[in-house]
Homo-oligomer: A and B are copies of this chain.
Amino acid sequence: MVSPKYHVFVCAGTKLSGDKKGLCHSRGSEDLVRAFMTEIDERELSGEVLVSATSCFGICDKGPIAVVYPDGVWYGGLDAEKVAVIAEEHLEGGTPVKSLLI
């Protein structure tokens, strides 16, 4: 299995212990996963960028959170507009968006 150029993990706020949903979830993280997918599709990056939803990262006060690997770059306080900026500058352009780092 060849890794994608970028793999975006978006906290969906779920806890392993059950269906409890945390802060990221209440702040619309499911829509953010879809927003990343739409951006990647529209920019024709689906061959090089994967998006996954994840369990709670435990840093809920900074949510909604996403981390981009292999860079290990963490973004917080996300909304659909910020997702578009990350898609343009980082996932397409190759440069992490400093103003959105946590």
**Residues of A with Cβ closer than 8 Å to B?**
1, 3, 7, 9, 12, 14, 16, 19, 30, 33-34, 50, 52-55, 57, 59, 62, 67, 69-74, 76, 101-102
Bound-state Cα–Cα, A51 to B12, Å: 15
Contact call B54/A9, Cβ cutoff below 8 A: yes
Bound-state Cα–Cα, A64 to B3, Å: 17
Contact call B53/A30, Cβ cutoff below 8 A: no
Given A16-B33, A30-B16, A7 and B53 contact (CB-CB distance below 8 Å): no
Number of copies: 2
Question: Chain B contacts of A102 at CB under 8 A?
Answer: 1
Sample 22 A-B pairs with CB under 8 A, ordered by A number. Answer: A1-B62, A1-B76, A1-B101, A1-B102, A3-B72, A3-B73, A3-B74, A9-B9, A9-B52, A9-B54, A12-B16, A19-B19, A52-B54, A53-B55, A54-B54, A54-B55, A69-B69, A69-B70, A69-B72, A70-B70, A70-B71, A70-B72
Which of A1, A9, A57, A71 counts the most chain B CB atoms within 10 A?
Answer: A1
